[in-house]
Structure 1
Amino acid sequence: MYNLEKVAKILGLSKRTIQRDVATMSLDVRNLSLTCPTDTRNYTLTEYGLQWLADKHGITLEADEDIHTDDSTADENSLVSSLLEQLRQKDLQIAEKDKQIAQLMEQAKNFQVLLQAQQVLSFPALKRSIFKRLFGSKSEQ
């Protein structure tokens, strides 16, 4: 995994160029290229992202360049990747729970409307006042 400055140094491009290229990536390439595609402040590119940027600018990556990380960094990167995957799974679970809560709220609203309608139907018919019964016309009855 490579941060923005390291990628710019390896490819010999400016940080602004890398940022612009990352911003214009399609969604599927962005998901493969960045460790956290939703984090717009801190770009951390994967091997795929580095290779994609190199191909875009016609740069061949030399085997002797210092683009590979040591074992401890690789272990940390794999840990970060697994934690990011766990976060994505949690986000999916939270989204599913949000859908369920919205459905339950809609159901409760529907039950409330039905209850009010039932209460209106159960009220007895209003009796006419005594004056209306005595002095009202026969056609109203």
Structure 2
Amino acid sequence: MKIKVEKLNEFCENSTVSFSTEYGNATANWDGDLPEEGKEYFAEIEIGETFVLGTNLKLCDENKFSIGMEKESVFLTGFLESVEKDGYAVLRVGDSIVSIEIMDAIPPESFVMVISNEVTLFDVKY
């Protein structure tokens, strides 16, 4: 996903970035070489959390991609392309895909919102 780093927040052993995309703005962990503020990157999104319907996963009525913040958590709204029997699922947010794990049986080909505070970005160095 194409992102623009708006602000870099460096802490002792980890860093976060406030970033913007065509779908909204959020703050997430950053893994790898530190990015520069104001610069655009192609980033992979990794979410280290399992999603449960009604807890951190919601079905959406509106078919619109979005990224944002809800308190200290990041939310992604996208199209659930596929769900495997083992819970592995593919969430499409615009032209990008995000691999997620789902506990419940959810029909693919629906718009969903996932909410997590375990979101990490990696520069894919395109």
Q: Give the TM bin, normalised by the shorter chain.
A: under 0.3
| Structure with more of its chain in helix, by fraction | 1
When you count strand as a share of all residues, which structure comes out higher? 2
TM normalised by structure 1 equals 0.21
What TM-score, normalized to structure 2?
A: 0.22
